[in-house]
């Protein structure tokens, strides 16, 4: 399998990496089809892979024990999922799946974790993405809560 070329990727997070950090990840990036409904991560479970969407839309859904759920966030080619790995927390309490099918790249979470520990620049960029995703999630939840 050939490594992707940085100038050919459509994922904004991968495209914005320094060439050195992109080369750190590139040999481990696998192209993947992401069909509608494909699970990117499950609640409270470690994810074997992290995904960088090139096309399509991912949905983040929080659920409670009585079966009620709400979409609390969406993302596309601007980022990656799951972000719990970036925060070194392993898992998150929500479901993440493809709401609109597309494609992208996946990387074994252990490989991404190694790269994050080796590069402060890479870790800082991904942490800024997590902050942005967190703000978007908060405002999505606010919008859901205030709908009349």
Token couple for 122: 């890479």
Per-residue pLDDT reduced to its tens digit, 68-93: 888 888 999 999 999 988 998 878 88
**Contact assessment for residue 15 and residue 29, using Cβ atoms and an 8 Å cutoff:** no
* Coil vs helix vs strand at 62: strand
Q: CA 39 → CA 46, 48, 85, 143, 145, distances in Å?
A: 13, 12, 16, 25, 25
Counting beta carbons within 10 angstroms of the beta carbon of residue 64, is it exposed (0 to 12), middle (13 to 18) or buried (19 or more)?
exposed
Q: State pTM to two decimals.
A: 0.91
pLDDT tier, 148 (very low <50, low <70, confident <90, very high otherwise): low
Q: How is residue 86 annotated by DSSP?
A: T
138 vs 110, higher pLDDT? 110
Name which of 94, 108, 124 is nearest 52 in CA terms.
Answer: 108
Torsion on CA atoms 51, 53, 57, 62, rounded to nearest 10: 20
């Amino acid at each position: 399998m050939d490594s992707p070329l940085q100038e050919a990727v459509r994922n904004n997070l991968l495209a914005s990496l320094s060439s050195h950090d992109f080369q750190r990840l590139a040999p481990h990036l696998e192209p993947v089809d992401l069909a509608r409904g494909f699970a990117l991560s499950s609640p409270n479970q470690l994810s074997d892979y992290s995904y960088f969407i090139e096309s399509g839309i991912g949905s983040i859904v929080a659920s409670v024990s009585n079966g009620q759920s709400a979409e609390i966030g969406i993302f596309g080619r601007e980022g990656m999922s799951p972000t719990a790995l970036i925060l070194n927390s392993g898992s998150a309490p929500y479901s993440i799946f493809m709401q609109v099918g597309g494609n992208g790249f996946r990387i074994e979470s252990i490989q991404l974790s190694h790269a994050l520990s080796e590069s402060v620049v890479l870790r800082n960029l991904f942490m800024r993405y997590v902050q942005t995703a967190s703000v978007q999630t908060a405002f999505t939840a606010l919008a859901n809560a205030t709908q009349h």
